[in-house]
Structure 1
Amino acid sequence: MTRAKFLPLRDESDRLSCRLLTAFVGLLWAATVCLAADPAVRQITVDGKQSWVDTGLDVQPGDMVKIEATGSLKYSDAAQSSGPEGLARGWKDLIRVLPVNDAGRGALIGRIGSEGSARPFFIGERRESRMPVAGRLFVGLNSGSSTAEGEYKLTIQVTSRAKDTETEFKGVLPPITEAELAQIPRRVVDKDGNEGDRINFLVVGTEEQVKQALLGVGWVVVDRSVRDTLLRGALGTLSKQAYLTMPMSELMVFDRAQDYGFAMSDPIQTVMARHHFRIWKAPFTVGGLTLFVGAGTHDIGFDKDQRNGNITHKIDPDTDLEREYIGETLKQSGQVVKLDYVTPKDTVTKAKTAHGEEFHSDGRILVVYLKPENGDVSEQFSDYFCSVLAQNNPDGEELGSCSKWLQTPGKSDMKLGEISKDYRILIVPGIMNTCVADTPAYDKGRKVLTEKYGLTTELLSVPNDSSEANAKAIASFIQEKMKDDKRKFIVVGYSKGTPDLQVALAQEPGVKENVAAFISTAGASGGSPVADSLPMQLDAYLSKVKQGKCQGNLAEGFKSLKKDVRQRFLASYPHPQVPTYSLAAVTTAETVPKTAAQTFRMLSAWDKYNDSQLLKLDQIIPESKYLGVVNSDHLNVALSMGSTFPRAALLEATVRFVIDDLSKSGVVKPAETTKNEPKKKGWADGFGQ
């Protein structure tokens, strides 16, 4: 392991001198001296023969760190050079041991700490994000054992240090009582009732929190059956997760099979070794919070199943090691506020698995408390939606109760007044919107907002191009509109319109300054496995097909929806640029349209919560305010395709809610801000900082 070299400042006067020298002399050497001397800014070189480089930088939870990289590497067996983003993945990557599952070989990566539980993360050309945990920052290459010629040059800057008061959790966490422990089985059982692994950890947090925390630190969801494996294959990518997600046998707790199985391992070793666990949602809550019960073991080889003589995995008999590993990796997510232990009166310290292996434990159960959610406003939003639907019914149809359309039904007697005209609404629809121009997104809802409430609403039909190309079109549109009207926009992204707007807000000048808020409805923020499934011949095929009235390059548009592309963007820009709100859509096997039934079934191999095009988790923008879930397939949320859905009520409710929320949060309207009067600070401040 290599340690970076840098020159520390002697005192504050040295730092001031450096900054003045750079500002007023403007010489390259002066700027370089300052970068090297400032402990918050340092330059590091990572060459192709290094594994991990110690940056010498210790970070704390909440610190904002920006890393920018340039340069190239050349692997002897690769036709192309690699930049910090890494090489495009190929089939050989399936048998390579790379630290970050979904990143290409040669990508710049990082990690906090040197312990075995420290999970590597993708950096690429640029990443600016809050550090989730405390520790020493290391940077390295996603190369495994292979080396390359060349180097990357990095500039690492701590843009802000977190204050203890910003990261310290001050809430009250409910203890696990003896009565609650008594309701939790001590061990799992197989389908024949044979007792197996012990319950060795508990997680207190919502289902979405648990999945996001685990997926964020490298755990992957394991297939429930061979059928799921085949369905994943139908929508599969060249990912090393294919080894890791092979089916895990179903075991029982609370008289039902596990809700999820998770695994983590280097793929080349997965055939015989992997960290893995199963979790079950408890049929009761702890202090009103959701509880998950887990059983984790570490596969370390193969053994003979004493029940039937077949070959099965051999586990590490010290199951406490896996318990601690699960807890430590979860801490890397930055979502853990407390680790605790409980010991039941009838605890298990020594036993045999269902297939006859002995294991032992100190008898304690780890309790992992995740940070209680403060961005979930689904209950408040449901009051808006239910009241708009019941009192105004802007769709003009008989649509029934709001509980039919919203997973968190609310009150319908909320007082509804006029909608403020201090903002204007811009809707950016999804891919192929120009192909169905006769069915524009939220058509009736926009007309109601304009004709009934006098709002300025516009639809920007971007072409089927990359999110980067469409971001430039969005920026040009907004800048042109601001010439005659200084009111800020509330932008609404539907489907691919969401990543198009995310890129515009993050990368295009003059966009976030003129946007008051961003609403995502069924937005592809995290990408989609459906886009990953497109055939490799897509480029050549679509270039030959006459796409009629469709505008743009569909191949480039679909590439922007690939999960690895969107996840890389989120890694580089993990924090919203403006106040942001996410509304997800979820359908079911009973309600999904026949035309979308196949993709729904395939996506269900990943997660049953999907809208036939996107997984629910991929529709929720990190750090956004969560508005909840509508009961709908992907298209029906915004497009009138012959199926009934209260689209106009949904748009009116989201606009009402966001305008009111901006007002409550202290966001000042443009007309209220003067040169001599500083802007009030509120909820939006801190975004993009």
Structure 2
Amino acid sequence: MPASNPITGAPNGVSMRPIPVRRAWKNGGISFALLTTCLALVACATKPLVPYTTDTPPLALVPASEAGVQDKRARFREIYCAVLEAHGPALPDYRACEDALTRVGTEPAGSGASVDLGQSRRHLIAAVVPGIGYDCFKPWLNSPGTVTKQLQQFGYDGVMLDVDGLSSSTHNAHQIRDAIMAMQLSAGAAQLVLVGYSKGVADILEAVVAYPEIRSRVAAVVSAAGAVGGSPLANDAEQYQADMLRHFPGATCTSGDGGAVQSLRPATRKAWMAQNPLPNELRYYSLVTFPQPERISSILKSSYDKLSRVDARNDSQVIFYDQVVPGSALLGYVNADHWALAVPVARTHTMIGSLFVTQNAYPREALTEAILRFVEEDLATSGK
């Protein structure tokens, strides 16, 4: 097989015929191809260097003794299972708990303690920072907002923080700072749970380090399929390829400072982590996507295979150990690919879902509720 472009998947030297925006808008499959061209980072399939297996230490390459990671999977499983049992069947994309989470290595036994499914006492707010390019395809995605509606039923809330999808984490950190400082929050205990999806967690970590004034408003930071250690896929990508998202149907995004791809490179992220200790007054949590191979959507299999040249234990965009914040509490391993965790393509574009994003269904409403319930309980136990 000839060498291929790491973004488009086309053999090097073969031109890609441009697709008129008007035709892309009319044809869902073609318009979606533009999204996958820019985000999936696809390439020719290759044999994994590390075979897929869940029979591995739960914190492989991120030893608890070195990174201070606490294994909280047992209690999170109890809470998530309770939420799924109580609320899941009435919500979209219901899954049984055993299928919703992947068991990796030896998972500790649960405590058996009861799970409070009542109203939130602390009224936590999930403030989500999305991944690369989200502001470009957000109008097309037209997400229904059902996660926030679910949270509000129980005294929680959810908001999306607007950041530049094509800018660096340093640039976006300042935007996060400004958004947090502008919020009207209740006096007293911190309410914000900053949830970073994909590149969003890098933006958040830079924000809490660079702007200490926001820390009193932040209860916790959650990495959700976060690119804490970057992604090897970004090593072969260039910013101009990500900039193609500016031509996505309905997009109004700009190139920003043009640093998004650079921010995702492993060398960039690891150097930043080494030079910037995280504030110890905040609590950190990691939710890792570690799907069974059959849970990878067909359109993402090429990027999954490419990343498998490094390690087959990936979600099609990020290797599982690169999603863990040092010093965090590990919540669990989610049996979903990178998009299924947070980008509900199949719900609003059913034809694309049936043809391309074939494993996009996931109970995100129940998952988000479980995250906030776990964080609230953990903060109360720790006295934070």
TM-score, normalized by length of structure 1?
0.41
The whole-number CA distance in structure 1 between the counterparts of 2:214 and 2:115 is 34
Q: Residue type matched to 1:653 in 2? A: A
The whole-number CA distance in structure 2 between the counterparts of 1:524 and 1:626 is 15
Shift of 1:422: 4.2
Q: Residue type matched to 1:592 in 2? A: I
Alignment of 1:462-611 (within 5 A): 462-464=163-165, 465-482=167-184, 488=190, 489-535=192-238, 538-539=239-240, 542=243, 546=247, 549-553=251-255, 555-577=258-280, 578-611=282-315
SS at match of 1:590: helix
SS at match of 2:294: coil
Q: Deviations over 1:581-624 (max 9, x none)?
A: 00000224322111101010011111111100001011011111
The whole-number CA distance in structure 2 between the counterparts of 1:507 and 1:580 is 17
The whole-number CA distance in structure 1 between the counterparts of 2:69 and 2:205 is 22
SS at match of 2:287: strand
Residue of structure 1 aligned with 2:340, choices 610, 620, 636: 636
Equivalent position of 2:125 in the other structure: 424
Q: How many residues align?
A: 313
Equivalent position of 1:447 in the other structure: 149
Q: Deviations over 1:159-189 (max 9, x none)?
A: xxxxxxxxxxxxxxxxxxxxxxxxxxxxxxx
Residues 526 and 563 of structure 1 are in contact (CA less than 8 Å); yes or no, is this contact kept in structure 2?
A: yes
SS at match of 1:629: strand
Alignment of 1:208-247 (within 5 A): none
Residues 205 and 278 of structure 2 are in contact (CA less than 8 Å); yes or no, is this contact kept in structure 1?
A: no
Shift of 1:541: 8.7
Residues 546 and 623 from structure 1, CA distance in 2 versus in 1: closer, same or farther, beyond 3 angstroms? same
Residues 477 and 396 from structure 1, CA distance in 2 versus in 1: closer, same or farther, beyond 3 angstroms? same
Q: Deviations over 1:606-654 (max 9, x none)?
A: 1111100001011011111111100011011012111320101110000
Shift of 1:259: 7.2
The whole-number CA distance in structure 2 between the counterparts of 1:373 and 1:472 is 28
SS at match of 1:583: strand
Shift of 1:443: 3.0
Residues 500 and 394 from structure 1, CA distance in 2 versus in 1: closer, same or farther, beyond 3 angstroms? farther
Q: Deviations over 1:65-120 (max 9, x none)?
A: xxxxxxxxxxxxxxxxxxxxxxxxxxxxxxxxxxxxxxxxxxxxxxxxxxxxxxxx
Alignment of 1:674-689 (within 5 A): none
From the CA coordinates, give the structure whose radius of gyration is larger: 1
Q: Residue type matched to 2:85 in 1? A: A
Shift of 1:491: 1.2
SS at match of 2:201: helix
Q: Deviations over 1:373-431 (max 9, x none)?
A: 76000111000111100112276246242111102497797442222234333111111
Alignment of 1:607-618 (within 5 A): 607-618=311-322
The whole-number CA distance in structure 2 between the counterparts of 1:430 and 1:395 is 28
Check if 1:660 corresponds to 2:377. Answer: yes
Q: Which has the higher strand share?
A: 1
Residues 629 and 412 from structure 1, CA distance in 2 versus in 1: closer, same or farther, beyond 3 angstroms? farther
Q: Residue type matched to 1:462 in 2? A: V
Q: Residue type matched to 1:582 in 2? A: S
Residues 596 and 483 from structure 1, CA distance in 2 versus in 1: closer, same or farther, beyond 3 angstroms? closer
The whole-number CA distance in structure 2 between the counterparts of 1:650 and 1:373 is 25
Q: Which has the higher contact order (CA 8 A, sep 6+)?
A: 2
Residues 581 and 393 from structure 1, CA distance in 2 versus in 1: closer, same or farther, beyond 3 angstroms? same
The whole-number CA distance in structure 2 between the counterparts of 1:506 and 1:595 is 36
Residue of structure 2 aligned with 1:387, choices 82, 98, 103: 82
Shift of 1:441: 7.1
Alignment of 1:124-135 (within 5 A): none
The whole-number CA distance in structure 1 between the counterparts of 2:260 and 2:174 is 14
Q: Deviations over 1:301-322 (max 9, x none)?
A: xxxxxxxxxxxxxxxxxxxxxx
The whole-number CA distance in structure 2 between the counterparts of 1:374 and 1:509 is 23
The whole-number CA distance in structure 1 between the counterparts of 2:244 and 2:157 is 38
Q: Which runs of 5+ in 2 are unaligned?
A: 1-42, 347-359
Q: CA RMSD in A?
A: 3.6
SS at match of 1:523: coil
Q: Residue type matched to 1:523 in 2? A: G
Q: Which has the higher helix share?
A: 2
SS at match of 1:551: coil
Residue of structure 2 aligned with 1:433, choices 110, 118, 134: 134
